[in-house]
Amino acid sequence: MPTLIGRRRFLKGAGALAVLGAFDACRAGSGRDAAKPTLQLAPLHASVDRITRITVCTRPFRAQGPRLDVEKIGTQTVVHNYGHGGSGWSLSWGSGAIATANAMATGQRDFAVIGCGALGLTTAILLQRAGARVTIYAKDLPPDVRSSMATGLYTPDSRICLEEHATPEFKRTWEQMARQSFQTYQSFLGLPGTPVEFIESYAVSDDPNRRRNREVEGKPSFAELERELTGDLIPQPVDFEPGYHPLGRRFLRRSTDLMFNLTAYTHTLLTDFHANGGKIEIREFHTPNDFARLSEKTLVNATGYGARALFGDESVIPVRGQLTRMIPQADVTYGLFYQNVSFVPRRDGLVFQVVGENDYYGYGDDTTVPDRPEAERAVNAIASLFAT
């Protein structure tokens, strides 16, 4: 029979697994693996009547990658930390460490952080750990920030930049951020509420020779950087042929993912920030000139997509992402990717997402109105795996 050849990767901006090729010759169920037990998966109860919420957010993509420079605005120093595409949570601790070093280099010890999403919260905590006093200024707080609408998987190269801008220097900085974030997340494992945990995810294919279309004619390619981390962060994938799993005549590739249960994780971060003397003020800024009203002389700009309007940064491109949330199912602890739809078994609500044929799905789309037909398509695609 034909074999599926390929590798596992994260789907840009979706946090989902994609089948970029087919499964290689090392297949569960082959002669040399005859003693391997058949894979058992708890049936997923997925149906459109179990949908609890549909959310849409705009992820901040920059072709050049995240903005991490420092600039003077009037008498204040602004440390930028935004534009991470679909990798905000995944790179937050490493990127926050860079922003913290830049901020502390000013010699100040009282800082303002603008924004209370993934980058704002983690940078604020890192500044506290460096001995600083921090106030977060934000228009919205979790769960009403864009970061709260993320998929919830560790996807450090999810629309992080275009391939043409992935210079050796950029790759080194990116790898530093990715590794530091991954290691920091280990300290959240096992905490009450399970803010962070490892799960097994399965890329599913009907066709052993199916390949995902990575190239889009006439458009530049997104950087593929996950290979820089291969080998020492997560286990190698395992393949399962039909007959060795409960999903019929399909082909499965199992990978290990780091998953964030964002309700619990964000609560943990906010509790940590307040316990260390952090303050939060609800405030909206319309232009950088509004920063002059703050007493702090050094500010960290962690406004994400909001930086496009606040700073007039036209390099920030919206990437629309819609999540369909469903009633949690405690016995389902695995993720799935099938027919360009991802499923993530978060404890704060199951997550389904249509991610499209390529990385340009949702690119340049700043609409935030939920699309019910898309939501039902996502649920029905995953539900079909369990149809009798």
297: nearest Cα among 6, 38, 70:
70
pLDDT for res 213:
65
pLDDT in tens, 317-351: 999 999 999 999 999 999 999 999 999 999 999 99
State whether CATH 3.40.50.720 applies to domain 1-388.
yes
Q: What is the mean pLDDT of residues 257-282?
A: 98
pLDDT for res 5:
27
Q: How confident is the model at residue 214 (pLDDT cuts 50, 70, 90)?
A: low
Q: What is the mean pLDDT of residues 301-317?
A: 98
Q: How confident is the model at residue 303 (pLDDT cuts 50, 70, 90)?
A: very high
pLDDT in tens, 247-258: 999 999 999 999
Q: What is the mean pLDDT of residues 201-208?
A: 94
> To the nearest whole number, what is the mean pLDDT of the chain?
90
Q: How confident is the model at residue 315 (pLDDT cuts 50, 70, 90)?
A: very high
User: CA quadruple 252, 258, 264, 267: dihedral positive or negative?
Assistant: negative
Distances in Å between the Cα of 119 and the Cα atoms of 70, 90, 287, 367 are: 16, 10, 20, 23
Residue 24 has pLDDT above 70, yes or no: no
Residue 227 has pLDDT above 90, yes or no: no
Q: How confident is the model at residue 229 (pLDDT cuts 50, 70, 90)?
A: confident
Residue 194 has pLDDT above 90, yes or no: yes
Q: Using alpha carbons only, how large is the chain's radius of gyration in Å? A: 21
pLDDT for res 37:
57
Q: What is the mean pLDDT of residues 195-204?
A: 98
Contact (CB, 8 A) for 383 and 46: yes
- CA separation for the pair 226, 217 (Å, rounded): 23
Taking the model in full, what pTM does it have? 0.90
